[in-house]
Amino acid sequence: MYVKTELDGNCLVIYITNPPVNALSQAVRQAVVDVFKTVETNLDIEAVILTGQGRFFSAGADIKEFGKGDLLPSLPDVLDYIERCRLPVIAALPGTALGGGLEVALSCRYRLSVAAAKVGLPEVNLGLIPGAGGTQRLPRLIGMKKGAEFVTSGKPVGAKEALKLGIIDEIVETDLLEAAKAFARSLIGTTARSPISKMGPPEDWDKAAFDALMAKTKAKARGQVSPIAALEAVEAACTLSFEDGLKAEREIFKTCLENPQRAGLIHAFFAQRQAKKIPFLEAAVPQDVKSIGILGAGTMGSGIAIACASAGYDVLLFDAHTDALDKGITRIHAAFDHNIKTGRMSQPAAHSAKACVTPISDMQDLADVDLVIEAIVEKMDVKRAVFEQLDSICKSDAILASNTSYLNINEIAAATRRPDRVLGMHFFSPANIMKLLEVVRTEKASAQSLATAFAVGAKLGKIAVLSGVCDGFIGNRILKTYRAEAEFLLEDGALPQDIDRVMREFGFAMGPFQVSDLAGLDIAWHNRRKEDSTRDPNARYVDIADKLYDLGRFGQKTQAGWYDYKTGDRTAYPSPLVDDLVIAASQAKNITRRDISDTEILNRIMEAMLSEGRAILDEGIALKASDIDLVMIHGYGFPKYRGGLMFYGGITDK
């Protein structure tokens, strides 16, 4: 049963019943049409309410049907039945209405919702645009500017904002269906308002304003097709009749459906779901975590504290240095104040989060915390000593996690008497912003400990991916290969600006040398020195970055690195000095420089990264190819619309 009906006197309630999210599959669409045909012939029915069973009105189309051709009735056909119904249909939203779900609601004459409802048109996140009138009805209802923001961002809004915009007519604080029935019956014998399709074009249509919005959207989209396509459909709503606008929208939708970006974005969407499905953790019950201790009040530790406090955890922030601890607390408070100014958090929520963070100067105060996350200096002897201390201080069932980026966590766990409760929780900087969390599985980590780390990650709003122990885990191991190949290209004939341009054109926000300047060449130099004793003497090593370090060119912080910078200007200007250093490095190794095409630059870098990805899979460091895709997308800026590194290389989960 995909649709359930309930007749209350003269009022018919139609429930969409396709759990878990009431997706609008072909079977659901057909069932809705059949019910509305009945409404047309049963004159005893004088009021109609359309709702969803459970917490969803509908989360939209069934993604699994994309690319399978036209499965009739189409969603536009269903909306036409609803809109032409002889009775005004009232949409009652018991919760979420996204994509096609919101399009269905917009085809109804009136919309009521509970206070917890959310509405949105997220199709751009899947490489598509709304294809059942969303780009035509919504701008007519709320205006060109707001409508354009809605469809190009894909971000849902809550009921209060939806009411303010005019998307819904009323927020119901009492029983939703009873209120909807009373509202529906009040319309009997009256003239209902016209459907949205009969409204004129948006009153705020302005060609100059639209062109400016298009330019802004193109800059922000950085190669992604769907936001631009969505805006073109909005323009159709502003300049064409509703019928012609629908035709234009449908053609644009079909074009997006055939674009490879759609496949890449849908792959990324399902990869995020699959990352949670880990066979040996299915039966594990996470421990209850209420309090978290964080060691290290630097940039990383402060970011982790912000993320944990924002999620409602009680946070004890420790640093052995009083001045560092004070700076950390100041940094945390400033971040929450910034969230208030930017509207990310309400003032009460930010103040509550601030109150969750308690600075401590004695590790003994961590005795009763449920989880400790260590974010101190990247030195094995220091970390081992700290974990040995934590082992004697913390309660026996506390989980001890390291935020190390590279070090062998098995060695860290061996310093404790509880190796089953030691694992890695590798956050990405800034930890309160970046979505990725690598949960690192040590040799003896228990299923419960790992499940707990995933549960904490979910509460923090992170995308958690399981990794095995190796140098750099999944992400930094591939990143190391990426940077190495980029430097080989320098010696072979390319220049930093050539490589960075190619990678930006591919879809990265920045190229590898721009990223290096942003992170700091001094940090990378220190990391390389740690590797000097173990590096294969026969392996190819490029020392150009070492020479830049010797010259005091540490990147943006010194206004000179791989590029030159000007005061107050983060623009990377190609440096003649660096070009000379690169050419000299080739000469010193008797490498004959040659012109290297953009295609060769991209292919060599991609193949180097893919080769490392294959090795990570073969070694069992990553469970699935799609896990690697998530790491590269959410941790390193790999263009999401390309589906991730492995998907781009044709390697998918078996």
Residue-wise pLDDT for 552-601, tens only, equals 999 999 999 999 999 889 899 999 999 999 999 999 999 999 999 999 99
Domain with CATH 3.90.226.10 in the chain: 3-258
Catalytic pick from 6, 40, 83, 123?
A: 123
Per-residue confidence band for 519, with pLDDT thresholds at 50, 70 and 90: confident
- The pLDDT value given to residue 67: 66
Residue 352 pLDDT > 80, yes or no? yes
Residue-wise pLDDT for 273-304, tens only, equals 999 999 999 999 999 999 999 999 999 999 99
Instruction: Assess contact for 419 and 442: CB atoms under 8 A.
Output: yes
Q: Checking phi first, is residue 379 left (phi over 0); if not, alpha (psi -120 to 50) or beta?
A: beta
Q: What is the mean pLDDT of the segment spanning 301-330?
A: 96
Instruction: Assess contact for 576 and 563: CB atoms under 8 A.
Output: no
431-461 burial: b if 16+ Cβ within 10 Å, else e: bbebbbbbbbbbeebbbbbbbbbbbbbeebe
Q: What string of H, E and C letters represents the secondary structure of 599-621? A: HHHHHHHHHHHHHHHHHHHHCCC
Tokens of 488: 């080989």
Instruction: Assess contact for 40 and 85: CB atoms under 8 A.
Output: yes
Residue-wise pLDDT for 143-178, tens only, equals 999 999 999 999 999 999 999 999 999 999 999 999
How far is residue 293's CA from residue 392's CA, in Å, rounded to a whole number?
A: 15
How far is residue 456's CA from residue 446's CA, in Å, rounded to a whole number?
A: 16
How far is residue 414's CA from residue 429's CA, in Å, rounded to a whole number?
A: 27
Tokens of 272: 């995020």
Instruction: Name every residue whose Cβ is closer than 8 Å to that of residue 524 and which is 6 or more positions away in sequence.
Output: 516, 545
Phi (first) and psi of residue 497, to 5 degrees: -65, -30
Q: What is the mean pLDDT of the segment spanning 211-237?
A: 94
- The pLDDT value given to residue 255: 95
Residue-wise pLDDT for 377-419, tens only, equals 988 999 999 999 999 999 999 999 999 998 999 999 999 999 9
Please confirm, yes or no, whether 232 is among the known catalytic residues. no
> What is the chain's length?
654
CATH of domain 3-258: 3.90.226.10
Domain with CATH 3.40.50.720 in the chain: 290-467
How far is residue 230's CA from residue 244's CA, in Å, rounded to a whole number?
A: 16
Per-residue confidence band for 240, with pLDDT thresholds at 50, 70 and 90: very high
Q: Average pLDDT, whole number, for the chain?
A: 95
Per-residue confidence band for 524, with pLDDT thresholds at 50, 70 and 90: confident
Please confirm, yes or no, whether 374 is among the known catalytic residues. no
165-192 burial: b if 16+ Cβ within 10 Å, else e: bebbbebbeeebbebbbebbeebeeeee
Specify whether domain 475-620 bears CATH 2.60.40.1180.
Answer: no
Catalytic pick from 83, 103, 249, 487?
A: 103
How far is residue 434's CA from residue 230's CA, in Å, rounded to a whole number?
A: 27
Q: What is the mean pLDDT of the segment spanning 424-443?
A: 95
- Angle between helix 144-153 and helix 134-142 axes, rounded to 10 deg: 140
Strand partners for 111: 91
Contacts 24+ apart (CB under 8 A), 552-557: 553/521, 553/578, 554/520, 554/521, 554/522, 555/516, 555/517, 555/518, 555/519, 555/520, 555/521, 555/522, 556/517, 556/518, 557/520
Instruction: Assess contact for 239 and 202: CB atoms under 8 A.
Output: no
290-467 belongs to which homologous superfamily? NAD(P)-binding Rossmann-like Domain (3.40.50.720)
- The pLDDT value given to residue 65: 79
